[in-house]
C-alpha cells in the first residue's frame, strides 16, 4: 500500500505504548494528539520559555500538504494550557529529519496559578492535514537541515 499521509511512532518511542491518533467522530476535521509521557508545565511567568510536550509521533504527507496543530477547545479551561503561538505547522520535510526523526512536540504555556501535570495518554492538541498553495514564480530550493524550528536553517 502506498503511503499518502498518516502518523507513525517516532524513533525512541517504539516501546512506549504510544497510540496513533484517531478522529473521534465521522465529522471531526482533526486527529487528537496525546502526551507520550507525564509532563509538568510550570505556572507561567514573564520571560519563561514554553514547555514542550512530547507526543512520540511523526507525520508523513504529500509535498503540497502541511499538518496544522491547534489547541483543543477545552484545554485552557480543563488543563490550563495554551499554545503561545496559536497554531503549529509541521512541514512535509520535517518527517524523518536527522535531528529528531520528525518527532512532533506540542509547545504550551500554563495559565493556572499552580503547576499543571499533563498525564501520558492525555489529549493535548488537534492535528489537521491540509493542502497548501504557493505563489506565482515560487522557486524554493532549500532543504531542511534539522528538526524543531529548523525551517529558517534550510539552504
Q: Could you read off the pLDDT of 58-88 as tens digits, one per residue? A: 999 999 999 999 999 888 888 999 999 889 9
Inside any domain, residue 20 = yes
Note the pLDDT of residue 148.
55
What is the per-residue pLDDT for 155? 47
Q: Which domain holds residue 42?
A: 6-132
Q: Does any domain span residue 145?
A: no
pTM score, two decimals?
0.89
How many independent structural domains does the chain possess? 1
Tell me, yes or no, whether 55 lies in a domain: yes
CATH number of the domain encompassing residue 15: 2.70.40.10
First to last CA, the chain: 33
- For residue 97, being part of any structural domain is answered with yes
Q: Is residue 41 part of a domain?
A: yes
The CA–CA distances, whole Å, from 106 to 8, 50, 118, 122, 141 equal 16, 9, 12, 12, 28
Specify the residue for cell string 499518502: 4
Flag whether 154 is in a domain. no
Which of 79, 71, 65, 58 has its CA nearest to residue 30? Answer: 71
**Has residue 22 been placed in a domain?**
yes
The low-confidence residues of the chain, meaning pLDDT below 70, are 144, 146-155
Domain-embedded: residue 73: yes
Amino acid at each position: 500500500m502506498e503511503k499518502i499521509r498518516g502518523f507513525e511512532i517516532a524513533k525512541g518511542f517504539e516501546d512506549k505504548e504510544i497510540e496513533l491518533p484517531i478522529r473521534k467522530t465521522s465529522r471531526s476535521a482533526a486527529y487528537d494528539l496525546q502526551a507520550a509521557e507525564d509532563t509538568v508545565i510550570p505556572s507561567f511567568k514573564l520571560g519563561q520559555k514554553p514547555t514542550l510536550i512530547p507526543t512520540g509521533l511523526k507525520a508523513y504527507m504529500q509535498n503540497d500538504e502541511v499538518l496544522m496543530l491547534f489547541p483543543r477547545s477545552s484545554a485552557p479551561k480543563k488543563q490550563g494550557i495554551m499554545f503561545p503561538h496559536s497554531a503549529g505547522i509541521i512541514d512535509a520535510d520535517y518527517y524523518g529529519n536527522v535531528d529528531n526523526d520528525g518527532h512532533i512536540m506540542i509547545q504550551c504555556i500554563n495559565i493556572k496559578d499552580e503547576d499543571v501535570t499533563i498525564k501520558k495518554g492525555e489529549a493535548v492538541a488537534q492535528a489537521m492535514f491540509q493542502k497548501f498553495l504557493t505563489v506565482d514564480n515560487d522557486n524554493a530550493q532549500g532543504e531542511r537541515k534539522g528538526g524543531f524550528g529548523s525551517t529558517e536553517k534550510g539552504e
